[in-house]
Amino acid sequence: MGIHGSPIVSLKELDLTQKQIPFLTLWEAIKTCNMLFIYRLVRFLPASKNIRIVVGTVIDEIRNGGAFFGVLFSFYYAYSILGMELFRGAVDNLYMRQNNTDAMICGTYEQLEYWPNGFDDFFSSIVTLYNIMIVNQWHVFVTGFRSATNT
């Protein structure tokens, strides 16, 4: 008998070996315990007024973001249609006229292999407009389309 009349049970008596419980290693058990300790902190978050303000602001931004993304998509739609009317097939001509040597100037439309980015169809024009807006390579696109249209 153990302390306070409780039976002492050893691992040898239970015959728990690593072969019988392979689903949980020591490292996984430690990671699980650490996650549970972090989740204990969640119960204190609603009590903080500052956290409530931050969460309320994030929820308001999500609600108001729908109008912003709607306006943004309408601009993307209009400019992709305009780009398809003006530049459809222009990059294909540049691809055909490209010199096939390896001596391409660094940072050009040809060297960066932006051939799929064009205004040939609606979805590629949306991707092209996104790349122009986000990727910060607008000068490469302008130079590529200028050389493709000979203007």
- Residue 2 inside a domain? The answer is no
| Residue 79 · residue 115 · CB < 8 Å | no
- Residue 68 inside a domain? The answer is yes
What per-residue confidence (pLDDT) applies to 96? 59
Domains contained in the chain, number: 1
- Residue 36 inside a domain? The answer is yes
As a dihedral over the C-alpha atoms of residue 27, residue 30, residue 32, residue 33, rounded to 10 degrees, the angle is 170
What per-residue confidence (pLDDT) applies to 85? 92
Q: Which domain holds residue 104?
A: 8-149
What per-residue confidence (pLDDT) applies to 134? 87
- Residue 3 inside a domain? The answer is no
- Residue 110 inside a domain? The answer is yes
Residues 82-113: pLDDT tens digits?
999 988 877 765 665 565 555 567 767 777 77
Please give the backbone phi and psi of residue 144, each rounded to the nearest 5 degrees, phi first. Answer: -65, -45
- Residue 113 inside a domain? The answer is yes
